[in-house]
Amino acid sequence: MAIDRIQNQTAFTQRPNVAQHSANVNMERLVYLPRKHYKNHNEIPNSVNMIKPEPGQGHLLNGGLFGSIGRFFSNRIYDIKSVYRGYKGTANDHQLGRTNDVGLVLGGLGIASFLTTKRIATMPKHMEFIGLASFLASMALWPKIGIFGPARLVHGFDADKRYIDDQGRNKSVFQDPNYIPFDLYRGKKKSENLSAIADYMGIDRDADNREEIVKDQMKKIATQNHTLWMLTSGPAVPTLTALMCNAFERGYEPFIVKQKASKHDKMIDELYKNLIENPQNQKEETFITKIKKAFTKDKVTSSINKFTAMDLDKSEKIITKKELTNFINTVTEGAGAGVSNALAKDLSKILATPDKTVIDSKYIETLAKNIETKFQGHKLLKNGIISFDEITEALTETIHKKLSQSTNDANTLDKEKIKESLLKNRAVNKKSVEEAIIQAVKAKLEKSGNINSSLLKRIQQMAAADIKGTDIIPSSDKIIMTREKAEIINSLTEPFKEYLTNFIQLRKINNLKMGDIADSQNAYFWKQLEKTFTNIVQPNNVITSRALKPLVDNEEAIKIRTKENLEKLVKNDDAYKRAVAAISTLKDKYLAAMLGEGRQGAYTNFVLGGNNGSGVAWNLRTFSSQGTEMDKFIELQSKIASNFRKVNHSFENLINIIAGNSVDYTKSIASLETSANVTKVENFVTACDRLIHTLDIYKRADGYAHANDWTQYKATLLEEAKINVISAEGHDFFAKFNNVNKPDKFRNYMQLIYDGYLLDETKSAMSEASKSTLTAWLKRTHDVMGMAFKDAWQYCEFVYPSVSTDNKVFDNMTTTPFERFKLQGKNPVELLNQGFKNSYNSNKWLRTFGGLFTCVLGFSILAQFFFGKKDSTIPLEKNRIARLRREQNETLTQNTTNESVQKLEMEAANGN
């Protein structure tokens, strides 16, 4: 192929001599010809002699930002056209080459779209597409920054130069070493001037055949660079992609979080309007919602209808247990396991038939088997067990007998039909089954013959007595549904559908903000807190992975490091204030985001229990009257729950779990979802409070260490507190920090540390940044964790659980272990552990990827200095000899002998 091109090229470049042509043209005739624009040479009279190639249309492409952006889009249009022409069958080789790139992008889009389905959070979903874009970008970028950019600097020409050929195709000049269109270097610009390039390369101006030399050199360097490109892009492109994605992710995360938060606000307002403000106002259906509705399968209605559908001529319908389970699973999809369990319970109660059972062949088989096991070895039945057929016969007889008492219809009384229905599915009274079994046993015994009447009677009694035991009559795995029951189940449709739609919608909305996924607002703030506190403790600007390595997953080391660093930090007043302010600001930002702007007052009332200080006992009903952003969620939750109460009361369990009853509201889903949200807010706030308090304790200890009025005892307590505040868990309080037998010391400790005292520095730093205070949290911690209630001290001699879990001790306030746990927020050491781990991991990651990329880049830049040099090709050698000869002429006198020139030539030949 390439050879063909060469031949074409030579044919093209061997232009006929123009002068010769003009000499051949009959000038006289031409004079009389009118001036005319000819489409092609066939039209021109005497054209055969005038054949002359038109000037080439091809030209080199030059850089320039706008030009390259424009070209990017025109190239993509060309790609699409190429695919079209490819499918049409009229594509040329260049266009066929482009189809490969289109395929790559299409495949990449397919992969990215599929992989989004494997991601839960929005951010990773977006990252799939961003990853694809980064990959394509790195493929384009790597040769520019890693190969041809440095090559241009070193060698003075662009080895990735592109040109537009006569047919308007965008091609690379040096791609095919056997066909390089050097004729396009017309010298109009510096980058297209072979002479300028030769100057840059340092090729002698007086060299023989200078243009050929530079062409050879360019060809060689370009070939080397193209090979280097192939060699390096393997390791470079994936690493560059990863680095690009990483950089993008950092900036993109806050944006996504913000987007989700505003989406949350908008959606919850809309739902609030529909459900609470204007519940009567039916939303006007737009065209799109109508279409959407038409195409969305209403699973609840359709599956309930299918489940309860019955033949018109029948009063009963038989359902298998599997059908029932499937039905429950389909209907309660997305509502959670609690709801499906409750529905299963309710349905089994509704569909229960105490005196009826369903008979089919499997049932009869089990029956026969049960009898066999029961009478195995029984001397009365040693002539053989009762077979399947015998039982079927007995059942048919019994049923026939019963039916004949009530009806004369021959069709109903047809024994064959009864038998057939028994083998399939037939609802029968349990009593009849018992009777039939006795009948069968009796018949069997009679058949065996050698039994007298008194014995038969005994057997009858025995058999009856035995058979009435529940272990012979099997329980059917089929359920009977009647019309009344179907109606009850049908009544569930509308309320349940409404509940599910609203509940799932609300949960979806709530997940945007409070969900347990990486890019919810709640998770984002935790990450921020982690980062802020890690920076406070480890304030070095560069946290290297080597420095972090001993701290990863080693809580003792973290404890020591934290203590050391915080002691250092509190000595610097400015740094201390900045640290307190940073945490306070974050806390305020969090509250503003979660409860709405300017709602800190509401928060104080609710979280801190108002002025009466009743504390962190979470009272949901009180909360809902505060009018915060989160309040809307709680109100909606209870509204959705209470709307469900109108359902038939047979669904007792379902109502209880969804809406709760007056007795046990707390176990309902509505309550759980609400309190989960509230707990999340509280956890974050308490964690912030605890961190500020920790800083305060270190500052106090630092200040008192130098004060005169500070007793040794208190100093000891404060010193102990330094470790306790950063690492204590709830159980440490109940072990009284190893002071079990010294209740007084523990009491003093609690009073000293948690009596509500804060340093002025802390207060001022806090008040500048935030509106909330620590007082209530401290008081509550003191009361609950120190157990300062009525008579509580007498129990303090013992270690938990006898004291701490026995709520009866505390008369004036109920505390649960969960509340006590919540009061501790998050252990600072744990927070730091997570923070160190994250920075260690990301540092390590960045070092590895960045390191590899830098290595490859360094290698490819270094390689440039070896390119174009090593092999002394003969033209270059000739050139050097010429230069040497010239220098010789200039510097040496005329007496210089030929010998010295020859000597120089020989040196050159040696490659010096």
Name the nearest CA neighbour of 422 among 388, 392, 387, 389: 392
Query: Rounded distance, CA 555 to CA 407, Å?
Result: 84
The interface with other proteins within residues 67-86 (CB under 8 A) comprises 83, 85-86
- 653 binding other proteins? (CB under 8 A): no
How would you class 911 by CB atoms within 10 Å of its CB: exposed for 0-12, middle for 13-18, buried for 19 or more? exposed
Of the candidates 763, 853, 748, 715, the one whose C-alpha atom is nearest the C-alpha of residue 235 is 853
CA dihedral 665, 670, 671, 672 (to 10 degrees): 120
Task: By CB under 8 A, tell whether 110 contacts other proteins.
Answer: yes
Q: Residue 501 interacts with other proteins (CB under 8 A)?
A: no
10-39: contacts with other proteins (CB under 8 A): 39
Distance between CA atoms of 346 and 657, rounded to whole angstroms? Answer: 12
Place of tokens 């961190």: 691
The nearer residue to other proteins, 80 or 705, going by C-beta atoms, is 80
Please select the residue that binds other proteins; options are 46, 47, 74, 113, rule is CB under 8 A.
Answer: 113
Instruction: Give the residue with the Cβ less far from other proteins, 89 or 251.
Output: 89
| Chosen residue from 99, 626, 679, 748 binding other proteins by CB under 8 A | 99
- Which region, judged by CB under 8 A, interacts with other proteins, from 174-182, 192-200, 431-439, 741-749? 174-182
Show contacts with other proteins in window 528-587 (CB under 8 A): 545, 552-553
Q: Is the Cβ of residue 40 or residue 405 nearer to other proteins in the bound state?
A: 40
Nearest distance, CB of residue 683 and other proteins, angstroms: 21
- Total residues interacting with other proteins, rule: CB under 8 A: 83
Minimum Å distance from CB 78 to other proteins? 14
Contacting residue, 33, 51, 96, 291, with other proteins by CB under 8 A = 96
Is residue 103 involved in binding other proteins (CB under 8 A)? yes
Interacting stretch for other proteins, rule CB under 8 A, among 15-23, 460-468, 620-628, 846-854?
846-854
Alpha carbons 764 and 385: distance in angstroms, whole number: 94
In the list 48, 69, 80, 106, the residue contacting other proteins (rule: CB under 8 A) is: 106
Q: What is the 3-state secondary structure (H, E, C) of 4-24?
A: HHHHHHHHHHCCCCHHHHHHH
Which alpha helices (DSSP H) does 596-668 contain, by range?
600-607, 620-623, 629-643, 652-658
Report, in Å, the least distance between residue 172 CB and other proteins: 10
Residue from 131, 156, 194, 224 binding other proteins (CB under 8 A): 224
697 three-class SS: helix
Maximal CA-CA distance, the chain? 157
Q: How far apart are CA 772 and CA 708, in angstroms?
A: 33
Instruction: Give the CA distances from residue 349 to residues 426, 650, 652, in Å, rounded to whole numbers and listed in that order.
Output: 21, 8, 10
| Selected range binding other proteins among 512-520, 602-610, 653-661, 900-908, rule: CB under 8 A | 900-908
**Which member of 733, 875, 879, 880 binds other proteins (CB under 8 A)?**
875
Eight-class DSSP state of 793: G
Segment interacting with other proteins (CB under 8 A) among 214-222, 428-436, 565-573, 574-582: 214-222
Of 432-461, which residues contact other proteins (CB under 8 A)? Answer: none
Residue 8 CB, shortest distance to other proteins, in Å, is: 10
Q: Is 176 in the site for other proteins (CB under 8 A)?
A: yes
Do the Cβ atoms of 213 and 879 come closer than 8 Å?
Answer: yes
Cα–chain center distance at 597: 29
Q: How far is the CB of 430 from other proteins (least distance, A)?
A: 39
Phi, psi of 891 (to 5 degrees): -90, -40
87 binds other proteins (CB under 8 A): yes
Q: How far apart are CA 516 and CA 507, in angstroms?
A: 12
Does residue 228 interact with other proteins by CB under 8 A? yes
Q: Does 868 bind other proteins (CB under 8 A)?
A: yes
CA distances from 80 to 74, 83, 115, 729, 845 (A): 10, 5, 25, 64, 38
Tell me how far apart the alpha carbons of residues 632 and 646 are, in angstroms, rounded to a whole number: 23
CB of 202 to other proteins, least distance (A): 17
| 108 or 743: CB nearest other proteins | 108
Q: How far is the CB of 227 from other proteins (least distance, A)?
A: 3
Helical (H) or strand (E) element with 357: strand 356-359
x-or-dash string of contact with other proteins, 179-208, rule CB under 8 A:
x-----------------------------
Shortest approach of other proteins to residue 631 CB, angstroms?
32
103 vs 613 by CB, closer to other proteins: 103
The reply on whether position 136 binds other proteins by CB under 8 A is: no
Options 96-104, 316-324, 405-413, 555-563: segment touching other proteins (CB under 8 A): 96-104
**Residue 336, interface with other proteins (CB under 8 A)?**
no
Among 377, 597, 870, 890, binds other proteins (CB under 8 A): 870
Taking the C-alpha atoms of residue 127 and residue 246, their distance in angstroms, rounded to an integer, is: 10
Min dist. Cβ of residue 55 to other proteins (A):
20
Q: Nearer to other proteins by C-beta: 197 or 659? A: 197
Pull the structure tokens for residue 359. 């008979």
Q: Is 422 exposed, middle or buried (0-12, 13-18, 19+ CB in 10 A)?
A: buried
Site for other proteins in 241-270 (CB under 8 A): 242
Q: How far apart are CA 701 and CA 50, in angstroms?
A: 104
Distance CA 782, CA 776 (A): 10
The type of residue at 770 is S
Q: What is the DSSP letter of 184?
A: G
How many helices and strands (H and E) does the chain possess? 39, 7
Collect all residues with Cβ–Cβ distance below 8 Å to 274 and sequence separation of at least 6.
281, 283
Residues 36-55 that bind other proteins (CB under 8 A): 39-40, 42
Which CB atom, from 351 or from 901, has the smaller least distance to other proteins?
A: 901
Pick from 134, 239, 439, 781: which binds other proteins (CB under 8 A)? 239
For residues 395 and 445, give the distance between their C-alpha atoms in angstroms, rounded to a whole number: 17
Smallest gap from Cβ 106 to other proteins, in A, equals: 6
Tokens 């018109």 sit on residue: 312
Residue 122 as a binder of other proteins (CB under 8 A): the answer is: no
Stretch that binds other proteins, among 254-262, 271-279, 650-658, 899-907 (CB under 8 A): 899-907
Q: Choose which of 168, 234, 354, 449 interacts with other proteins (CB under 8 A).
A: 234
The piece of 184-192, 216-224, 371-379, 450-458 that touches other proteins (CB under 8 A) is 216-224
Shorter beta-carbon distance to other proteins: residue 621 or 870: 870
From candidates 36, 88, 649, 808, binder to other proteins by CB under 8 A: 88
Q: Is 168 in the site for other proteins (CB under 8 A)?
A: no
Q: Should residue 848 be labelled a site residue for other proteins when binding is judged by CB under 8 A?
A: yes
Q: Is position 416 an interface residue for other proteins (rule: CB under 8 A)?
A: no
CB under 8 Å, gap of 24 or more: what pairs does 867-872 form? 867/151, 867/154, 867/155, 867/220, 867/221, 867/224, 867/225, 867/228, 868/155, 868/201, 868/217, 868/220, 868/221, 868/224, 872/911
Give which of 720, 406, 432 is closest to 563, Cα–Cα.
Answer: 720
Segment lying near other proteins (by CB under 8 A), choices 110-118, 440-448, 650-658, 886-894: 110-118
In degrees and rounded to multiples of 5, residue 429 shows phi and psi of: -65, 140
